[in-house]
Amino acid sequence: MSDVRREATPEHARVSILRGSSDGGTRSAAVGALLAGGTLALGISAPWVSPFDPLAIVGPSLSPPSLQHLLGTDALGRDLWSGIVWGARASWLIGLTTALMTAAIGVLVGIASGLRGGRTDHVLMRVTEFFQALPRFFLVILVLAMFGAGMDRVVLVLALTSWTGLARVVRSEVMSLREHDFVAAARAAGATELQVAVGEILPNVLPVVTVLFGLTVGRVMLIEASLSFLGLGDPSVVSWGALAGQGQAFLRSAWWLATFPGAAIAASVLGLNLLGDALNERWATGE
């Protein structure tokens, strides 16, 4: 028995943190869609719903929320609501880009591992474990130290280190799928390995990939926000984390600066988690 580690933490040990929350899932799905969809819509429609240029000085310094400035202004007199709206765009863009790359790698590794089995599986799972053991947050900071600041490298490092969970789940799905008759039928009809993977396996793992995709977007948003909060993001881009970081210095005098950007992140991630949870429950029970 060579594959000790995999057995040491079998899939049954990996319990979803979100599972078991719902009432059949409909209500939490609706709330989730509202929260996540709301901030996503804000980001998409930023040029139209943002009253001011988020970087322009448009009001008095540190003015509390008012009709003029819905969420108040920062120390330079910039409108916080406009910043939040444009921050939605940045957060979602980074979350979606990273999660797409993550999903691509995870699906590729998971299908290759599950379908081929044997030596390929063994090697790929070792590689997966290695990436799982890398402390992501600290790796990003090391990369920033060596290569200088920039969002491109943050996205790249997060994508290259976030696919492991997805690959594991896809792999175990594929392992049970490949025993099914429809796969054998496709093989008997002369389908190549690639045709089986793309035509038969891929459509069947898409539900679970969708769920994990949503959760990954949320997780990436959180990490990116933390980095930007610490001032390690792109200074020319308005992001929720950066806004919250700038608010830190004015915690005593301007509570709104620190409160609203963090709430926007929490709302988006909560929405994505609720949505993923509800979809998961629905598909798992085959409704």
Partner 1 sequence: MTRRYVLERLVQLIPTVAGILLVSFILIQAAPGDPILALAGEHGDEAYYAAMREHFALDEPIATRLLTYVERLARGDLGMSRSQGRPVSVVVWERVPATLLLTGTALLFSSAVGVLLGVLTALRRGSGWDLAANAITLGLYAAPVFWVGQVALLVFAMGVGLFPAFGMRDPDPAGGWSAAALDTLRHLALPALVLASQQLAGVARVTRTTVSRELGKDYVRAAYAKGLPGRIVLTRHALRLALLPVVTLVGHRVGYLLGGAVVVESIFGWPGLGTLLLSSLQSRDAPVVLGIFLLVAGVVVLANLVTDLLYGLLDPRVRYV
Q: 22: which 2 tokens?
A: 């719902």
Beta carbon of residue 45, minimum distance to partner 1 (angstroms, whole number): 23
Among the listed residues 57, 63, 61, 171, the one whose alpha carbon sits nearest the alpha carbon of residue 109:
171
Chain residues binding partner 1 by CB under 8 A are 1-2, 4-5, 7-9, 13-21, 126, 129-130, 132-139, 141-148, 218, 222-223, 225-226, 229-230, 232, 241, 244-245, 247-248, 251-252, 255, 258-259, 261-263, 265-266, 269-270, 273-274
CB nearer to partner 1: pick between 16 and 63 = 16
Count CB atoms within 10 A of the CB of residue 208.
Answer: 19
* Calpha distance 79→69 (Å, rounded): 6
Beta carbon of residue 215, minimum distance to partner 1 (angstroms, whole number): 11
Beta carbon of residue 214, minimum distance to partner 1 (angstroms, whole number): 12
Beta carbon of residue 200, minimum distance to partner 1 (angstroms, whole number): 32
CB nearer to partner 1: pick between 120 and 204 = 120
Among the listed residues 160, 162, 178, 121, the one whose alpha carbon sits nearest the alpha carbon of residue 5:
121
CB nearer to partner 1: pick between 115 and 169 = 169
Beta carbon of residue 189, minimum distance to partner 1 (angstroms, whole number): 40
Beta carbon of residue 196, minimum distance to partner 1 (angstroms, whole number): 30
CB nearer to partner 1: pick between 105 and 232 = 232
CB nearer to partner 1: pick between 202 and 237 = 237
Beta carbon of residue 35, minimum distance to partner 1 (angstroms, whole number): 9
Task: Write phi, then psi, for 140 (nearest 5 degrees).
Answer: -60, -45
CB nearer to partner 1: pick between 200 and 281 = 281
Q: What is the dihedral of CA 260, 41, 232, 79, to 10 degrees?
A: -50
Q: How buried is 96 (Cβ within 10 angstroms: 0-12 exposed, 13-18 middle, 19+ buried)?
A: middle
* Calpha distance 220→158 (Å, rounded): 7
Region of 82 please: left (phi>0), alpha (psi -120 to 50) or beta.
alpha
CB nearer to partner 1: pick between 5 and 180 = 5
* Calpha distance 40→215 (Å, rounded): 15
Distance, C-alpha 178 to centroid of its chain: 28
